[in-house]
């Protein structure tokens, strides 16, 4: 199996060298657990270190918020944006017609960008925010499935984020995202400590313990040789 280097220091050692190429990975965690930083770092380092074009799909209404996050780590993305190595696409979710139709449109726009630019790394941040615009839970589930299925058709390695309530055994907001994913990575913040757990990764003999990580001035750094006790996470 081909592996995609994550660009997150310390992570690849936990997952046999990297993310399975072509997989769809769910990155879940409560609010402020670093889901957005993690997924940007994946895109940024992918472009910088591995020369792989990336697409960051956000529903963030204000693109400035994304820039703030990048700037706080000195990640200068402007040049890479000009070269179209890093691309940010904001979903247009103001409901025009039905949600299903809207989703199809967005999916085909994303597919178009991926094909045109040869995108290898794709992020959708976050599926929760996007699903929160839909009221009926069963509609949310079927649309999430459809969306993830569409993304899996693409020839790229995808990370999609989901915000969980802060219980340690909850892996997604709607209880279905983890089943659509080939891998699940969970982030925890038990102040002041941050940690990461690989819950599943298909085709991979991954670490089965929780590892601490820190936010440094260059982004997230995981300590693969250190462990956090399950009981220490709240
Ligand atoms: N430059 C930095 N140095 C240290 N810590 C930082 C820095 N920038 C952000 N943080 C920490 O990271 C947290 C935010 O991370 P991030 O936005 O990735 O979380 P998230 O899981 O995406 O949260 P949300 O629920 O808002 O989507 C901040 O609340 C702050 O604690
Ligand atoms: Mg976020």
- Over residues 52-62, the pLDDT tens digits come to 999 999 987 67
CA distance 84 to 78: 9
Q: Which residues contact 227 (CB under 8 A, 6 or more apart)?
A: 209, 210, 211, 212
- pLDDT higher than 80, residue 130: no
d(CA 159, CA 123): 5
Token reading at 30: 């409560």
Tokens of 231: 């009981």
pLDDT tens digits along 13-61 = 999 999 999 999 999 999 999 999 999 999 999 999 999 999 999 987 6
Asked if the model's pLDDT at residue 95 lies above 80, the reply is: no
DSSP E strand stretches across 75-173:
86-90, 121-125, 157-163
Distance separating alpha carbons of residues 49 and 148, to the nearest angstrom:
27
Domains delineated in the chain: 3-232 (3.40.50.300)
The percentage of residues in the chain with a pLDDT greater than 70, rounded to a whole number, is 97
Q: Is the CB of 112 under 6 A from ligand 1?
A: no
Tell the residue nearest (CA) to atom 2 of ligand 1: 72
Q: How far apart are CA 67 and CA 72, in angstroms?
A: 9
pTM, entire model: 0.94
Which residue from 38, 215, 216, 221 has its CB within 8 A of the most atoms of ligand 1, so it is best to mutate? 215
């Amino acid at each position: 199996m081909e592996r995609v280097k994550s660009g997150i220091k310390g992570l690849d050692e936990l997952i046999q060298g990297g993310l399975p190429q072509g997989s769809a990975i769910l990155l879940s965690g409560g609010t402020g657990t670093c889901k957005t930083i993690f997924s940007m770092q994946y895109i940024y380092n992918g472009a910088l270190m591995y020369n792989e074009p990336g697409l960051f799909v956000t529903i963030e209404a204000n693109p400035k918020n994304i820039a703030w996050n990048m700037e706080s780590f000195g990640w200068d993305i402007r040049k890479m944006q000009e070269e179209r190595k890093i691309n940010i696409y904001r979903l247009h979710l103001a409901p025009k017609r039905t949600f299903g139709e809207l989703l199809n449109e967005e999916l085909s726009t994303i597919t178009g960008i991926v094909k045109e630019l040869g995108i290898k790394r794709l992020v959708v941040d976050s599926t929760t925010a996007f699903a929160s615009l839909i009221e009926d839970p069963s509609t949310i589930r079927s649309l999430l499935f459809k969306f993830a299925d569409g993304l899996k058709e693409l020839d790229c390695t995808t990370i999609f984020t989901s915000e969980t309530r802060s219980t340690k055994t909850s892996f997604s907001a709607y209880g279905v995202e983890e089943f659509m994913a080939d891998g699940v990575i969970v982030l925890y913040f038990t102040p002041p400590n941050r940690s990461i757990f690989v819950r599943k990764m298909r085709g991979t003999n991954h670490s089965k313990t929780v590892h601490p990580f820190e936010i440094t001035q260059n982004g997230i750094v995981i300590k693969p040789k250190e462990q956090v006790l399950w009981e220490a996470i709240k």
